[in-house]
C-alpha cells in the first residue's frame, strides 16, 4: 500500500467537496452510489476502447476514487457513519472493481486475464473481511491498495490512449498490450496479497 498512507492529507483537501455535498443535501450513501455510477461508466468507456474513451475512462476512475473518499468524510461530518454505510461502501467498491476490470478485459478481448485479475482483487478483499470475521480485526495490508489500483488504471489507460494517437511503435511487451499487462499485474499482485493475508492470519490463529 502506498497511496493509502496519504489519506490524512487527502482528507484535508476534501473539506470543500464535503461542504458542497452537504449543501446539496446528499447523504453519504448517495455519494457512494454516485461514485459507483462513475465506476460503471469507466467500465463502459474501457469496453469501447478508443483513445477518447480511454481518457474519459481514466477521468471516471479518478472521480470514483475521489468520491469514495468524500462519502466517508461526509458521514463523519454529518455524524451518521454507521456499519450499514460501511457495508454499502464495501459492496459497491467491489462491484466497481469488477466493472472496471471487466471493461478493460472486454475492450481488449483479454477475457482470461480479466478473470484472473478480478478473482485476484476479490480474493484480496475477501481475505480482509474474513480475517475480521474470525476475530483478528480488519486487514488492509498488502502490496497494492485500492487507491493504488485506481491510480495505476488511470495511468495505464492514458498511456494506452497516447500510444494509439502518437505516431511510433506500438506500446506493449511480448505482444501483450499495456492493458493486458495491467490485468496480469492485478492478477499476480492480487493473489499474492490474498495468500500473504491468509498466511499472516493463519500464523496469528496458530
Q: Determine the pLDDT at residue 204.
A: 84
Greatest distance between any 2 Cα atoms in the chain: 58
Domains defined along the chain, listed by start: 3-205 (1.20.120.1760)
Q: Determine the pLDDT at residue 174.
A: 67
Report the percent of the chain where pLDDT is more than 70.
87
From CA 120, how far away is CA 152, in angstroms rounded?
A: 16
Phi, psi (degrees; rounded to nearest 5) at 153: -60, -45
Residue 196 confidence (pLDDT) above 80: yes
From CA 131, how far away is CA 129, in angstroms rounded?
A: 5
Q: Residue 17: how many CB atoms within 10 A of its CB?
A: 16
pLDDT class of 143 with cuts at 50, 70, 90: confident
Helix (H, G, I), strand (E, B) or coil at 176: strand
Amino acid at each position: 500500500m502506498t497511496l493509502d498512507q496519504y489519506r490524512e492529507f487527502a482528507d484535508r483537501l476534501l473539506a470543500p467537496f464535503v461542504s458542497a455535498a452537504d449543501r446539496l443535501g446528499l447523504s453519504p450513501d448517495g455519494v457512494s452510489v454516485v461514485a459507483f455510477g462513475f465506476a460503471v461508466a469507466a467500465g463502459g468507456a474501457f469496453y469501447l476502447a478508443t483513445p477518447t474513451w480511454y481518457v474519459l475512462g481514466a477521468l471516471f476512475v479518478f472521480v470514483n476514487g475521489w468520491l469514495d473518499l468524500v462519502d466517508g468524510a461526509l458521514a463523519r461530518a454529518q455524524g451518521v457513519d454507521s456499519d450499514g454505510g460501511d457495508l454499502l461502501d464495501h459492496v459497491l467498491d467491489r462491484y466497481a472493481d469488477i466493472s472496471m476490470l471487466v471493461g478493460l478485459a472486454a475492450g481488449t478481448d483479454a477475457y482470461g486475464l480479466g478473470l484472473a485479475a478480478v478473482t485476484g482483487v476479490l480474493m484480496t478483499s475477501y481475505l480482509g473481511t474474513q480475517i475480521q470475521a474470525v476475530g483478528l480485526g480488519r486487514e488492509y495490508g498488502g502490496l497494492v491498495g485500492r487507491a493504488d489500483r485506481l491510480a495505476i488504471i488511470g495511468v495505464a489507460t492514458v498511456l494506452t490512449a497516447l500510444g494509439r494517437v502518437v505516431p511510433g511503435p506500438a506500446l506493449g511487451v511480448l505482444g501483450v498490450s499495456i492493458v493486458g499487462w495491467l490485468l496480469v499485474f492485478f492478477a499476480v499482485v492480487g493473489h499474492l496479497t490474498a495468500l500473504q493475508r491468509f498466511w499472516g492470519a493463519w500464523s496469528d490463529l496458530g
